[in-house]
Amino acid sequence: MCSDPHGHHSLQTQFDMNNRPDAPSGTMGKKRKHKEPSGKSARRQNALWQKIQIPLFIYLAFAVFYSFFMWDRMWTVSTDNHFVYLAESFLNGRLDMVTKPPHLNDWAKYDGRWFVSFPPFPAVLMMPGVAVWGMKFLDRFFAFLFAPLGPALFFVLLNRLRSMGRFDRKTWEIIALTAVYGVGTVYFFAAVQGTTWYVAHMIGGVLLTLYMLASLDARHPVLAGAALGCAFATRTPMIFAFPFILYEAVRASSTAEAGAGLFSVIRKMDILKTFKKLLLFAIPVAVVIILIMLMNYARYDDVFEFGHRHLVVRWAPRIEKWGLFNYHFLSRNLMVAGALLPWIIPQEPYIQISTHGLAVWFTTPLFLYVLWPKKMDSFYQALIWSVVLVAIPSLFYQNSGWVQFGYRFSLDYTQFLLIMIALGGRRFGKVFHALAAWCLIVNLFGAVTFDRMKQYYPMNSTHSYYQPD
């Protein structure tokens, strides 16, 4: 009879004895009152703990940090809680609103009924809370719980990429990029708002990271498809992030050498293996898209209409004239994303910011590293395509992101840009540290002042891109 070092029978030995054909009557399947985990189970639990302890610490650290900037908000119900209204509709078996909108900021009206036009996945996540607390559901506290997941999962992604040999970075460099994501980009100011638009960015960012994790080497294509489908049902431009898994599926089946160019990887791929992976990925994405299209048709008699054309807003005539996406909006959006700077005035508060926000390179100048990589492999090129395709719809969109501290639509692809910095091979020296410090200081200012200190954000006009003469 085998025993463990403490003199007790091992669980596996006891299981074998109780299930022998000649086992004594009454012992078959008999439950033991006290079970000790086997060595294998204990090792598995220890390995799991080793994997999650650092991400868990990062989550808790960011939760504590964000709480200092959200303490006055998180215990309140937002006046812009569109997803709570949509969750209420779903719980009542309806697609139109049960309760009339509390104001006229981004609600859609069609055929005499009111609707929430934002993609529905955040509302689905809120349904359990709304089922319990109704319209008193603390949507801002929900956002607070979700926000730290972004940096925590991004650390996991960076660490996974390093372990796969995609780049050679030290642990402190991975932690630095994680800190830049959570505090040195417009993710910071968005994370502490808790209103509809920013909740969508928080959830979309988490889903995008999960999509990338599942896509690596195309190991989990179904999960990747589910994550990207849900991301589309949160932030619609994210559906164009598909080049990432397209590359991963091709790369996983290709016989090209490490560091080969994108076209070389494509030429040497196994077409059948790639097709199977991409088919598994496409199925959940297609299911989500079909569900959204059916929902659109049931609400607006048009499978392609989310409802933004029916928004009751001051710029409705603009939408009616030019549509939601048009070349007409490109120059304005390029200006917002790439040119807007703070205004300097001679009296207090001395600095003001257009409510269209600040240029991406001003809030996060580290992104300039993306333009001058020391090396560029096929993975880097795939990330470029992912950024470009996700960014294009927002650049042609009728709304610049107004009102905002920085160009918030960049959050749809921020993780891609930071991974490109890690891949680019540039040393994280004095220039990196100086730019990272700038990122932290500027975005700290945004997190503290936005939607609190109105004197920094003049609301003269929706067209006040530049400081008045």
Contact 187, 195 (CB under 8 A): no
What whole-number distance in Å separates Cα of residue 84 and Cα of residue 122?
A: 9
Alpha helices in 301-413 (DSSP H): 316-322, 330-338, 360-363, 378-395
Q: Give the pLDDT band (50/70/90) at residue 17.
A: very low
The confidence score (pLDDT) of residue 294 equals: 97
Peptide bond into 403 cis (omega under 30): yes
Indicate if the alpha-carbon torsion angle 93, 98, 104, 105 is positive or negative.
negative
Would the pLDDT of 462 be above 70? no
What whole-number distance in Å separates Cα of residue 369 and Cα of residue 420?
A: 8
Element (H, E) at 108: strand 108-110
Choose among 169, 199, 224: nearest CA to 418. 169
Token duo for residue 186: 């417009």
Would the pLDDT of 2 be above 70? no
Task: Name the more confident of 465 and 445.
Answer: 445
**pLDDT tens-place string over residues 253-303:** 988 877 677 888 888 899 999 999 999 999 999 999 999 999 999 999 999
Query: Domain limits of the chain?
Result: 70-456
Reported residue count of the chain is: 469
Of 16-25, 179-188, 200-209, 415-424, the range with the lowest mean pLDDT is: 16-25
Q: HSE of 209 in the Cβ direction (CA atoms, 13 Å)?
A: 27
Per-position b or e across 206-230, b if 16+ CB within 10 A of its CB = bbbbbbbbbbbebebbebbbbbbbb
What whole-number distance in Å separates Cα of residue 29 and Cα of residue 38?
A: 18
Prediction pTM value: 0.88
Question: Residues near 295 by Cβ (< 8 Å), separated by ≥ 6?
Answer: 95, 120
**pLDDT tens-place string over residues 104-113:** 889 999 999 9
The confidence score (pLDDT) of residue 312 equals: 85
Would the pLDDT of 165 be above 90? yes
Question: Residues near 357 by Cβ (< 8 Å), separated by ≥ 6?
Answer: 186, 336, 340, 400, 401, 402, 404, 405, 406, 407, 408
Concatenating the DSSP letter of every residue in 235-289 gives SGGGGGGTHHHHHHHHHHH--PPTT--HHHHHHT--HHHHHHHHHHHHHHHHHHH
Stretch 405-427: mean pLDDT: 97
Would the pLDDT of 455 be above 50? yes
Instruction: Supply the mean pLDDT for the chain.
Output: 90
Stretch 314-325: mean pLDDT: 88
Identity of the residue numbered 40 = K
Q: Give the pLDDT band (50/70/90) at residue 39.
A: confident
Would the pLDDT of 170 be above 70? yes
Would the pLDDT of 323 be above 70? yes
Choose among 382, 286, 295, 391: nearest CA to 338. 391
The confidence score (pLDDT) of residue 172 equals: 96
What whole-number distance in Å separates Cα of residue 165 and Cα of residue 143?
A: 34
Q: What is the CA radius of gyration of the chain?
A: 26
The confidence score (pLDDT) of residue 23 equals: 46
The confidence score (pLDDT) of residue 38 equals: 64
The confidence score (pLDDT) of residue 461 equals: 55
Q: Tokens 């020391």: give the residue.
A: 374
The confidence score (pLDDT) of residue 21 equals: 41
272 CB-contact burial (10 Å; exposed 0-12 / middle 13-18 / buried 19+): exposed
Would the pLDDT of 210 be above 60? yes
Question: Residues near 456 by Cβ (< 8 Å), separated by ≥ 6?
Answer: 349, 351, 352, 353, 449
| Percentage of the chain lying above the pLDDT 90 cut | 79
Of 169-178, 318-327, 403-412, the range with the lowest mean pLDDT is: 318-327
